[in-house]
Amino acid sequence: MQPINIGIIGCGVISDSYLKGAARSAYITVKSVADMRPEAAAAKAAEYGVSAAASPEALLADPDISIVINLTVPLAHAAVNRAIVAAGKHVYAEKPLCASFAEAKELLDLAAKAGVRVGGAPDTFMGASHQAARRAIDEGRIGQVIAGAATVLSHGMEHWHPNPDFFFIKGGGPILDLGPYYVTDLIQLLGPVARVAATTCIGNPVRTITSQPRAGEQLKVEIETTATALLSFACGATIVLTASWDVWKNKRLPFELYGVDGSMLVPDPNFFGGSLEISEKGGDWAAVDITGHPFHLANRELRDGRQVADYRIIGLLDMAAAIQQNRPHRASGELTTHVLEVLEAIGTAGAEKRWVDLTTTCERPAAVPQGVGEEVFAA
Ligand SMILES: NC(=O)c1ccc[n+]([C@@H]2O[C@H](COP(=O)([O-])OP(=O)(O)OC[C@H]3O[C@@H](n4cnc5c(N)ncnc54)[C@H](O)[C@@H]3O)[C@@H](O)[C@H]2O)c1
């Protein structure tokens, strides 16, 4: 695969993961970075030895850049995505693809007309543990999956993120912010969602920032911060998704799937690795070997000291390879748009107290072949 020049718009907290990932990759070169705050772009450019474009517009005018990653805040995603497509470049956006399903559909139409690709986070479903789970399900080790639970509970984001405002307005909340990891992984394991029911609420209408540099400032919460949803999949499985930023402590596992022949415990889909366990027909839990799958080694320490595998950017790498190989990419616009419709349907189902049928569907993304690392995508 030929190395490909990319640009990054949005130089905040998550840009570090992408810049580190790009620096590790033999196939991606960051040509330049940009931000509406030029000082933020200049700081990341200096830290990672790349160049800073004078503005997002200047970056988009660079003919050497063919894919642009959008790492701005959710409410800015749609406009920045549209500008990338209008510049004739492929777009890869952080989640959610846009702040609304309608904006995502419009983006897919614009991209189809412009002949460019749309891709987006999360790409954690391509990680070793989630691909090993996929393989075990496809091999029938737990039989037809009929039920399960996905759970993401914490007490919010205002204690660590320097600018947590976007988490508590439209485009944020645990459903749109963390839901994509769980729903995307469920879709790669089980296929598309058919309909959704939910209850939702705002647990704490006002939040006090405790992170620096804005400790003490108060935020008004404008988006639901707790949701309990039933996701009814086209394959017949029903999964309970509980997502909340109102919970202080809990002992629930991130992800359990129950099949007619066994059960599976899948690690947190916010990361690429972690322990995967299966019990077949009531037998003891047995760890599944994930080491044959790429992207399993821990390479990042979290704030709480946990070591995790974080290979954010491989979704873009797969998209770059897919362009050169003329094949579909895995973290596709169709997948991220279906996920966004599911997440928006949770809000609608909660507000209107009814089942919501989905209007979109998608293919399960192709399984990632076993292999050593990112060269699994190379032609
Ligand atoms: N922080 C995380 O741990 C994390 C993890 C995974 C995904 N994400 C996602 O990544 C995205 C960014 O999150 P973050 O935490 O880095 O946010 P952030 O607030 O730290 O950074 C966002 C950056 O985008 C810039 N920006 C905003 N609007 C812009 C525009 N219209 N044009 C150009 N630049 C613009 C801001 O100046 C800022 O530098 C969000 O969609 C978030 O959901 C964040």
Tens of pLDDT, residues 299-354: 999 989 999 999 999 999 999 999 999 999 999 999 999 999 999 999 999 999 99
- How high does pLDDT run on average in the chain? 97
Q: Burial letters for 266-297: b for 16+ Cβ neighbours within 10 Å, e otherwise?
A: bbbbbbbbbebbbbbeeeeeeebebeebbbbe
Ligand 1 atom nearest to 79, measured from its CA: 31
Distance of CA 143 from the midpoint of ligand 1 (Å): 40
Task: Indicate whether 379 pLDDT > 80.
Answer: no
Tens of pLDDT, residues 69-111: 999 999 999 999 999 999 999 999 999 999 999 999 999 999 9
Query: What percent of the chain is modeled with pLDDT above 90?
Result: 98
pLDDT of residue 234: 98
4-123+371-377 and 125-287+298-305+331-357 in the same fold: no
**Tokens representing 155?**
């007490």
Distance of CA 366 from the midpoint of ligand 1 (Å): 29
pTM check: above 0.95: yes
CA distance 98 to 80: 10
Confidence of residue 18 (pLDDT cuts 50, 70, 90): very high
Ligand 1 atom nearest to 15, measured from its CA: 16
Pick the residue whose CA is nearest to atom 2 on ligand 1.
14
Around ligand 1, the residues with Cβ closer than 6 Å are 9-14, 35-37, 40, 56, 71-74, 76, 80, 94-95, 163, 177
To test the pocket of ligand 1, the residue of 19, 73, 245 to mutate (highest count of ligand atoms within 8 Å of its CB) is 73
Pick the residue whose CA is nearest to atom 38 on ligand 1.
12
pLDDT of residue 203: 97
The CATH architecture one would assign to domain 125-287+298-305+331-357 is 2-Layer Sandwich (3.30)
pLDDT of residue 361: 97
Ligand 1 atom nearest to 177, measured from its CA: 43
Pick the residue whose CA is nearest to atom 19 on ligand 1.
12
Residue ranges per structural domain of the chain:
4-123+371-377, 125-287+298-305+331-357
Task: Indicate whether 268 pLDDT > 90.
Answer: yes
Tens of pLDDT, residues 175-204: 999 999 999 999 999 999 999 999 999 999
pLDDT of residue 1: 84
Confidence of residue 2 (pLDDT cuts 50, 70, 90): confident
Query: What percent of the chain is modeled with pLDDT above 70?
Result: 100
Average pLDDT over residues 246-256: 97
Ligand 1 atom nearest to 74, measured from its CA: 41
pLDDT of residue 226: 98
Pairing of strands 300-301, 286-287: unpaired
Distance of CA 73 from the midpoint of ligand 1 (Å): 4
CATH class of 4-123+371-377: alpha beta
Average pLDDT over residues 211-221: 97
Tens of pLDDT, residues 115-127: 999 999 999 999 9
Pick the residue whose CA is nearest to atom 40 on ligand 1.
73
Task: Indicate whether 288 pLDDT > 90.
Answer: yes
pLDDT of residue 99: 97
pLDDT of residue 151: 98
